[in-house]
Amino acid sequence: MKLDFTVTPSTSNQLGVKGVGEAGTIGSAAAVINAICDALSPHGVTDIEMPATPKRIWNAIQSGSGQKGGTA
C-alpha cells in the first residue's frame, strides 16, 4: 500500500479545508476482501462475499472452486 498527499485547497471557504468524511472507508473494505482473496488464491478462491466470516472462508477453502461466497 502506498500513501501519498495531495494539496489542493478548497476555494469554497476561507480556510481552504475539505471534508474527507468517509472517503477512507470506501476503499478499505475492497482492500481487505482483495487481501483475503489473494491469501486464498492457492485454494482456487477468487471471491468472498462480505462479511468474510470464518465459516465463509472455511467453506470457500473446502470447496476450492472459488464460487462466490462459498456456501454461506
Partner 1 sequence: MITATFDYTLAESVEHATGLLAEHGDEAKLLAGGHSLIPMMKYRLATPAQLIDVGRLDDLRYIRVDGDHVAIGALTRHTEVEHSTELEAACPMLKHVASLVGDPAVRHRGTLGGTLAHADPASDLPAAVLALGGTLVAQGPNGTREIAATEFFTSFLESALAPDEMLTEVRVPANTAGWSYQKFNRRAQDWAIVGVAVADGGKGISLVNMGSTPIRAGAAEAALAGGSSAVDAAAVAHEGTSPPEDLNADADYRNHLARVLTARGLAEAGA
Nearer to partner 1, 18 or 55 (CB): 55
- CA 52/CA 67 separation, integer angstroms: 14
User: Residue 59 interacts with partner 1 (CB under 8 A)?
Assistant: yes
- CA 47/CA 32 separation, integer angstroms: 12
Q: Shortest Cβ distance from residue 45 to partner 1 (Å)?
A: 16
- CA 72/CA 11 separation, integer angstroms: 48
Among 32, 34, 50, 58, binds partner 1 (CB under 8 A): 58
Give the three cell numbers for residue 10: 478548497
Chain residues that interact with partner 1, rule: CB under 8 A:
53-55, 58-59, 62, 71
